Chains A and B, each alone.
Chain A
């Protein structure tokens, strides 16, 4: 009731403008990771048409603010239901490819996760989108599907074990850099997100970016995806800008 009243008075629009004025003059986070709500539920709503438009809108807001890399956590390996989700994922990626935003903002699209669990036709669709946007270099959009942070670390361990067996790598060489080179995010210039935004009323990070989140600022937004407004995103960025990052010193 009050909200509708305030909306009619244009109070929210004024507030939005004021937030934008505050945010635009300061340094923006270069890499923002977003955990959508409901990813842990079996009826993952992130792939519906409604959600897709909202994700597109969220993406546009991030790009307009000037964020270079956006990583969105869509799906974990745990709540993937092949019968239900394969077709939906296919449609999702086809929509991404058709999206105006990708061309307008020159966005390279990459899927990250344990992609080899998907059937061939879905992998093909994903590869098509990736090659289509390969030469776009102004921004990057990483879509985390079949992603689980612990699975990622296990895969890294196995990959390193293989390389050691082949003689390509020595035991003494194993350090943080080597691990980074084998993560699903190894293709990124900046693997570590500056800011992680969690949408929907939950205060967990659900195994997302387990390694990469060590020094990220975290922002919990108590609003579900479909009710997300630009105001919430701007607030999160403003909060990030106000924080003092000391990195242990």
Chain B
């Protein structure tokens, strides 16, 4: 009720413009990670079905990409589906994959992606995803592979532990064949074998998690060693541009305070 009132009088619009003024001339995070949590809980709170929750959530992702591009954020990584999410009931997973397929299909013809020259990549144990999703992802990746102005990573079937296990396995395969000497194993070597190896900057500057949960659930464990965390008590489908601007402002304030 209060919200609609405030919207009507343009308060949010004014606040948004003010927030933007505060952050635009300072250091923008280069790589933002976001854990889009709370789709199902939001749907339940609105008495919607879970599929609606996923649909609204997916639409919000579209908006998020637009906002990040406007702000000049170079890399965006979205935690869309974790390895642990496979433990959910089958019908929920099926609904999720249905929505994901529709959105990926739409992304193929999304002009924003091509105009901004955004390279899209799925990161995770992608082999575990349904066939239809895999082919859509391959199509999407191929259609954007020549881009290098911006990067959008969709973490699907992703696990932070799984990523490190896969990196260590691949490195050791090369040790066995003699391609790598164990003494060469260092930070750069590990990073070359993570799912994020293709990024100019795999380290994340800012991670935002919605829905009030304050944990990282294995998201980008290696890449988030020194990341600034921002937890927000709002379900993902309710996330607004103001929330993103606030998160960036807090990030900038802490940077300023803690610079030696």
Residues of A that sit less than 8 Å from B by CB: 41, 149-150, 153-154, 156-158, 160-162, 164-165, 171, 174-176, 179, 201-207, 210-211, 213-220, 243, 245, 247-249
Q: Which residues of B contact A249 (CB under 8 A)?
A: 84-85, 87-88
B168 to A248, Cβ gap below 8 A? no
Q: Which of B182, B229, B257 contacts A201 (CB 8 A)?
A: B257
Return the chain A residue nearest B162 by Cβ: A176
Return the chain B residue nearest A201 by Cβ: B257
Q: Knowing A150-B225, A218-B215 are in contact, say whether A175-B165 is a contact too (CB < 8 A).
A: yes
The distance in angstroms between the C-alpha atoms of A211 and B228, with both chains bound, is 17
Binds A, one of B125-133, B183-191, B234-242: B183-191
Some 21 contacts from A to B, beta carbons below 8 A apart, are: A41-B260, A150-B187, A150-B222, A153-B190, A153-B222, A154-B185, A154-B190, A157-B171, A161-B171, A165-B182, A176-B162, A203-B229, A203-B254, A205-B227, A206-B225, A210-B222, A214-B216, A215-B218, A248-B82, A248-B85, A249-B88
B161 at the interface (CB under 8 A from A): yes
Binds A, one of B43-51, B62-70, B144-152, B172-180: B172-180
Which of A203, A205, A210, A219 has the most B CB atoms < 10 Å from its CB?
A203
A203 to B230, Cβ gap below 8 A? yes
B57 at the interface (CB under 8 A from A): no
A35–chain B nearest beta-carbon distance, Å: 12
Q: Which of A179, A205, A243 contacts B168 (CB 8 A)?
A: A179
Return the chain A residue nearest B161 by Cβ: A176
A203–chain B nearest beta-carbon distance, Å: 5
A204 to B164, Cβ gap below 8 A? no
The distance in angstroms between the C-alpha atoms of A207 and B228, with both chains bound, is 12
Known contacts A171-B173, A211-B221; 19 further A-B pairs (Cβ under 8 A): A150-B222, A153-B168, A157-B171, A160-B172, A164-B176, A179-B164, A203-B228, A203-B229, A203-B250, A205-B225, A207-B226, A210-B225, A214-B216, A215-B217, A215-B218, A217-B214, A217-B215, A218-B215, A248-B217
Q: Knowing A150-B190, A218-B216, A243-B213 are in contact, say whether A157-B221 is a contact too (CB < 8 A).
A: no
Q: Which of B176, B225, B257 contacts A149 (CB 8 A)?
A: B225
How many chain B residues touch A (Cβ–Cβ < 8 Å)?
Answer: 44
Q: Which of A154, A220, A248 contacts B83 (CB 8 A)?
A: A248
Residues of B that sit less than 8 Å from A by CB: 82-85, 87-88, 160-162, 164-165, 168-169, 171-173, 175-176, 182, 185-187, 190, 213-218, 221-222, 224-231, 250, 254, 257-258, 260
Return the chain B residue nearest A163 by Cβ: B172
B251–chain A nearest beta-carbon distance, Å: 8
The distance in angstroms between the C-alpha atoms of A210 and B225, with both chains bound, is 7
Q: Which residues of B contact A203 (CB under 8 A)?
A: 228-230, 250, 254
Q: Which residues of A contact B171 (CB under 8 A)?
A: 157, 161
Q: Which of A154, A201, A213 contacts B187 (CB 8 A)?
A: A154
Which of A41, A150, A205, A214 has the most B CB atoms < 10 Å from its CB?
A214
B225 to A174, Cβ gap below 8 A? no
Q: Which residues of A contact B254 (CB under 8 A)?
A: 201-203
Q: Which residues of A contact B229 (CB under 8 A)?
A: 203-205, 218, 220
Return the chain A residue nearest B159 by Cβ: A214
B217 to A214, Cβ gap below 8 A? yes
Q: Which of A150, A164, A204 contacts B175 (CB 8 A)?
A: A164
B221 to A213, Cβ gap below 8 A? yes
Q: Which residues of B contact A202 (CB under 8 A)?
A: 254, 258
B228 to A154, Cβ gap below 8 A? no
Return the chain A residue nearest B229 by Cβ: A203
Q: Which of A157, A207, A219 contacts B225 (CB 8 A)?
A: A207
B84 to A248, Cβ gap below 8 A? yes
